[in-house]
Amino acid sequence: MSKEIQYGLGGLVVGVLITVFVASTAVNSGNNGMMRMMGMNTDRMIEEVDEHGMMGMGSSMDEMMNSLEGKSGDSFDEAFISAMIIHHEGAIDMAEEAKKSAKHQEIKDLADDIIEAQTSEINQMKDWQESWGY
């Protein structure tokens, strides 16, 4: 497997973990504004918090997937890009926190890679939004 694919897969896994962490922290701190910004239904999600105060891992992804349901063509593309920008911004926020708080240099290095890759992808998606009139 190429190094690029390994970084991509690693970034995806870390992005999901970061999103779960940020969303769980938002639930635990009552930060409903942040969750709504990420496109999450706070009323339904709070019901899904387990006995340890942790949100179910699939909740935020379920919300994002639900936002795409029944859409196709331009309306799908617009919703997908919008959700992915929010998702990537959350991953960048978490990676910034990892750079400050992680113990292991490997995590800090991965955080740098995530920030670089996801910033580039956000810029690409914003260019598409502008180009396509979204």
Q: Summarize pLDDT for 69-101 with one digit per residue, the tens.
A: 999 999 999 999 999 999 999 999 999 999 999
- The answer to whether residues 11 and 118 touch, using CB atoms and an 8 Å cutoff, is yes
Give the global pTM: 0.56
What's the pLDDT score for residue 117?
97
For 132, residues 6+ apart whose C-beta sits below 8 A from its C-beta are 74, 77, 78
| pLDDT band with cut points at 50, 70 and 90 for residue 64 | confident
Domains annotated on the chain, with CATH: 3-132 (1.20.1260)
- The answer to whether residues 57 and 63 touch, using CB atoms and an 8 Å cutoff, is no
Instruction: Name the residue among 22, 32, 121 with its Cα closest to residue 81.
Output: 121
Share the mean pLDDT of the chain.
Answer: 79
